[in-house]
Amino acid sequence: MTPEPFVSQTRQTRCAVEGQLVNGEACTVVLIREDADWVFYPHGVPGMAVRITGRSATKVARTILGEDQ
**Assigned domain for 39 exists:** yes
- Quote the domain boundaries for residue 59: 6-65
Q: pLDDT tens for residues 11-64?
A: 778 888 898 888 888 888 888 888 888 988 887 676 788 899 999 999 999 998
Instruction: Give yes or no for residue 67 having a pLDDT over 60.
Output: yes
Query: Is residue 26 included in any domain, yes or no?
Result: yes
- The tally of domains found in the chain comes to 1
Amino acid at 8: S
Is residue 1 in a domain? no
Q: How far apart are CA 50 and CA 30, in angstroms?
A: 11
In a domain, residue 56? The reply is: yes
Sign of the alpha-carbon torsion through 18, 9, 35, 49: negative
Residue 56, φ and ψ in degrees, nearest 5: -70, -35
Residue type, 60: V
Residue 52 lies in a domain: yes
